[in-house]
């Protein structure tokens, strides 16, 4: 039970949370040196996706503004990074805040229709953002933006320490992801986050309470896309290049699916969602050839691509139908069960 | 997308005469099953869920299609006589004429259905407010099933013509997104609006491609969409929504 304000605002409230966090932290610190290289590669990808999903979660989960353009905003961050580094010769660290701000600015620009639109219509304007931005990546000024082949970006280094091998990159992406998650958590807990929730739950009521819905929606767009920009920067370091096809519509929908699976409006949700979806994806990649073996060869070749789509959409559908509040809720329910064991409910 | 591929199977196996009605019956069945099994549990939930559900279904069908048909274009049977005939200086492909005629027929039929029949009026009432229409004795759940069936059947009907002109391939589901600017520009609850919006989007895209270059052409509908929904959020022919506390 929370006794006072300070305690209820604290990040870690119980002793078991402190222990759990300590274990997790030690694991994260050690993992980059202990686990096999392929696994670290997968984890790096997870960190990138988590930051993007946290941004979308603030925008969609907390503020209730659906966005089908998160991947494109990620692309804005990535392209800004690449252009600053390659065309202007900046270094990676200075490019980070600029990329984040550029993506945030693009988010505000495409969030402006929120002044008059809501719900479905606003989602369509972010869909328009997705199409317009990816078309720009592909065709606008090929000399500078890179056209279809994109831009190759050198990997980051500090002194002689290169972040190229996944084991080293891990120690760049992991802290970034942890810091962004803490920032997201603090935003959600502050006045800003509570105002987002008020706008999500009832716009008219929020306005009556003195919250300017339009202003807060724009702020949500800015913050959500800022996160996307940081994720784009991380993705550039991961890929070592930018290409238009890295940021497709499919990825925006993936991110939306991830926060639904994880549980919208929770901080742990996107993390759990990314872990589940990525692990499933890896499993499909591993099992694909095996399952394909049972089918005639001309079908087996197409198996991998199709199976990934099917698994993802079936998981999303299952969560929407059976557990709309996502893994985060499941997590809480399991925790409560464990706490009250062997009883089903709390004995007062 | 599913429409094209399913109708392809039926047409190959049974010929056009039996294949088309069979495919349409199958569309109705698919629409009903989707509504019943997948959309029904979402009643009362947020719009994010509904939107994501339809997208997930699209990708699910996409995945199934990829496994069985691959990613290449499958030739589609020419099930009606195709020839070109001159109108003035332009040579017109008879497939386009048939497409326009059928589209016109569907528009008129739908317009009459919504304005004249009891069921159509009930559907419009449901779109306005679920609660009020439920309390007036309209079976909202049945209306939902019906609207899904109609949507699926129309999509299948479109598929027959699309297939003849382009061929069957799985990326057709991306074409679904192209319908969105058309409908929103026209206004959501207006059939005339959808027709005019569709024409507008098509013509603007072709003109923009010709004069401004192909890359502006492909994103032009979305630029127009952005402008239209900022200036008139309910579209050109839609009815403005009144928000009450």
Q: What is the DSSP string of A281-339?
A: HHHHHHHHHHHHTTS-HHHHHHHHHHHHHHHHHHHHHHHHHH-TTHHHHHHHHHHHHHH
Residue ranges of alpha helices (H) inside B70-117 are 94-116
- In this structure, the dihedral spanned by the alpha carbons of residues A264, B184, A127 and A122, taken in order and rounded to 10 degrees, is -40
CA dist A227 and A184 (Å) reads 9
* pLDDT at residue B230, as a whole number: 76
Is B2's pLDDT higher than 80?
Answer: no
- Of A88-92, B3-7, B240-244, which range is least confident? B3-7
A128 at B interface, C-beta within 8 A: yes
Q: pLDDT tens, B158-186?
A: 766 666 665 555 455 555 666 677 777 77
Q: pLDDT tens, B69-114?
A: 655 555 555 555 666 666 666 666 666 777 778 778 888 888 888 7
Between positions 211 and 250 of A, the ones with CB within 8 A of B are 249-250
* pLDDT at residue B7, as a whole number: 47
Tokens 């390659």 found at: A86
Is B129's pLDDT higher than 80?
Answer: no
Contact B11, B77 (CB under 8 A): yes
Mean pLDDT of A88-108: 88
CA dist B65 and B55 (Å) reads 15
B175 at A interface, C-beta within 8 A: no
Mean pLDDT of chain B: 71
- Of A136-140, A216-220, B42-46, B167-171, which range is least confident? B167-171
Is A52's pLDDT higher than 70?
Answer: yes
Mean pLDDT of A86-114: 87
b/e per residue A282-314 (b: at least 16 CB within 10 A): eebeeebeeebeeeeeeebebbbbbbbbbbbbe
* pLDDT at residue B14, as a whole number: 43
Is B61's pLDDT higher than 80?
Answer: no
Say how many CB pairs under 8 Å bridge A and B. 132
Radius of gyration of chain A (CA): 21
- Of A247-251, B116-120, B227-231, which range is least confident? B227-231
Mean pLDDT of chain A: 83
CA dist B70 and B89 (Å) reads 40
Residue of B nearest to A296 (CA): B68
Question: B72 vs chain A: nearest CA distance in angstroms?
Answer: 11
CA dist B102 and B92 (Å) reads 16
CA dist A23 and B129 (Å) reads 52
Q: pLDDT tens, A159-181?
A: 777 777 888 888 888 889 999 99
CA dist A175 and A237 (Å) reads 14
Interface contact A302-B38, CB threshold 8 A: no
How does strand A151-152 pair with strand A161-162?
unpaired
- Alpha carbon distance, N-terminus to C-terminus of chain B: 42
CA dist A77 and B3 (Å) reads 38
Interface contact A307-B55, CB threshold 8 A: no
Residue of B nearest to A200 (CA): B46
Structure-token pair, residue B186: 């026209």
* pLDDT at residue B71, as a whole number: 57
Q: What ipTM was assigned to the predicted interfaces of this complex?
A: 0.73
């Amino acid at each position: 039970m929370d006794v006072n304000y300070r305690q209820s605002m604290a990040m870690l409230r119980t002793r078991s949370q402190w222990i759990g966090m300590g274990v997790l932290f030690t694991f994260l610190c050690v993992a980059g040196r202990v686990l096999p290289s392929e696994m670290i590669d997968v984890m790096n990808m997870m960190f990138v996706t988590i930051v993007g999903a946290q941004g979308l979660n603030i925008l969609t989960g907390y503020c209730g503004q659906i966005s089908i353009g998160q991947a494109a905003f990620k692309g804005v961050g990535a392209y800004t990074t690449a252009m600053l580094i390659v065309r202007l010769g900046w270094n990676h660290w200075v490019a980070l805040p600029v990329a984040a701000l550029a993506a945030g600015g693009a988010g505000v620009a495409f969030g402006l229709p929120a002044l008059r639109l809501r719900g479905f219509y606003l989602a369509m304007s972010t869909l328009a953002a997705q199409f317009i931005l990816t078309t720009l990546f592909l065709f606008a000024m090929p000399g500078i933006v890179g056209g279809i082949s994109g831009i190759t970006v050198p990997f980051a280094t500090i002194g002689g320490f290169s972040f190229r091998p996944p084991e080293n990159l891990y120690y760049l992406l992991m802290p970034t992801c942890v810091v962004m998650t803490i920032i997201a958590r603090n935003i959600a807990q502050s006045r800003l986050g509570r105002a987002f929730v008020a706008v999500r739950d009832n716009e008219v009521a929020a306005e009556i309470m003195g919250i300017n819905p339009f202003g807060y929606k724009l702020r949500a767009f800015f913050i959500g896309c800022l996160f996307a920009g940081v994720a784009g920067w991380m993705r550039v370091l991961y890929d070592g290049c930018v290409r238009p096809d890295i940021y497709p519509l499919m990825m925006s929908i993936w991110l939306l699916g991830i926060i639904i699976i994880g549980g919208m409006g929770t901080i742990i949700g996107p993390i759990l969602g990314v872990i589940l979806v990525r692990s499933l994806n890896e499993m499909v990649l591993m099992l694909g050839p095996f399952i394909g073996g049972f089918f005639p060869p001309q079908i087996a070749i197409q198996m991998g691509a199709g199976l990934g789509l099917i698994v993802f959409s079936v998981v999303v559908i299952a969560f929407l139908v059976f557990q709309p509040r996502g893994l985060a809720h499941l997590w809480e329910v399991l925790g409560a069960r464990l706490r009250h064991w062997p009883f089903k409910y709390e004995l007062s | 997308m599913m429409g094209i591929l399913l109708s392809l199977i039926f047409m190959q196996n049974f010929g056009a005469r039996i294949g088309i009605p069979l495919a349409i019956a199958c569309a109705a069945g698919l629409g009903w099953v989707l509504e019943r099994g997948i959309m029904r549990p979402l009643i009362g939930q947020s719009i994010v869920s509904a939107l994501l559900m339809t997208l997930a279904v699209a990708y699910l069908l996409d995945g199934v299609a990829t496994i069985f048909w691959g990613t290449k274009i499958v030739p589609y049977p020419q099930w009606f006589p195709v020839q070109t005939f001159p109108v003035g200086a332009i040579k017109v492909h008879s497939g386009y004429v048939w497409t326009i005629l059928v589209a016109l027929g569907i528009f008129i039929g739908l317009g009459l259905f919504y304005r004249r029949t009891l069921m159509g009026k009930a559907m419009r009432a449901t779109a306005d407010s679920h609660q009020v229409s439920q309390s007036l004795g309209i079976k909202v759940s049945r209306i939902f099933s019906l609207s899904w069936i109609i949507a699926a059947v129309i999509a299948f009907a479109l598929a027959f013509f699309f297939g003849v002109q382009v061929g069957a391939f799985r990326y057709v589901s991306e074409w679904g997104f192209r319908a969105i600017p058309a409908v929103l520009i026209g206004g959501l609850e207006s059939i005339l609006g959808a027709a005019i919006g569709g024409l507008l989007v098509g013509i603007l895209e072709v003109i923009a491609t010709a004069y401004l270059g192909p890359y502006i052409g492909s994103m032009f509908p979305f630029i127009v969409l952005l402008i239209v929904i900022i200036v008139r959020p309910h579209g050109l022919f839609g009815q403005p929504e009144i928000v009450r506390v």
